[in-house]
Amino acid sequence: MASTMEKDLHKDIDAIRADIQTLSDTVGKLAAEAARTQETIAKTVRKAAGRVTGAGEDFVEEAAHLGKEAAGAATDAAEVSLAAVEREIKRNPVGAVLVALGVGFLVGMIGHR
């Protein structure tokens, strides 16, 4: 009877060993899959970061371009205004001097306070 018990015990131990081996294989496969998933996620994040960086660079370039255009438009407007003032001074020099004196007087009064 002891030999039957020993055989049953050996069968149970062998079954436990087989189950442990199966569990080890499964855990190994899961770890490998987790590593592949982690690498896939890392690649996806790097690609997304690259696209965001590219979009940011495009935004900065567009803003710089618009800033240059705005500065150019402001320069053009200032030149037109300056030309108009010069024409007005040539057309009416006395009036221009009186306006300059009035502006100077007002600035002096405000600065004196």
Q: Given this model, what pLDDT does residue 106 score?
A: 82
Residue 68: which of 80, 57, 60 has the closest Cα? 60
The string of DSSP letters for 4-71 reads HHHHHHHHHHHHHHHHHHHHHHHHHHHHHHHHHHHHHHHHHHHHHHHHHHHHHHHHHHHHHHHHHHHH
Residue 98 has pLDDT above 80, yes or no: no
Boundaries of every domain in the chain: 2-112
CB atoms near residue 104 (< 10 Å): 10
Question: Distance between CA 6 and CA 82 in Å, rounded?
Answer: 111
Tell me the C-alpha to C-alpha distance, in Å, between residue 90 and each of 45, 81, 82, 100, 101: 67, 14, 12, 14, 17
Report the pLDDT value the prediction gives residue 29, as an integer from 0 to 100.
Answer: 84
Give residue 1's pLDDT.
54
Residues constituting the chain: 113
Name the average pLDDT for the chain: 81
- pLDDT tens digits along 20-75: 888 888 888 888 888 888 888 888 888 887 777 777 787 778 888 888 888 888 88
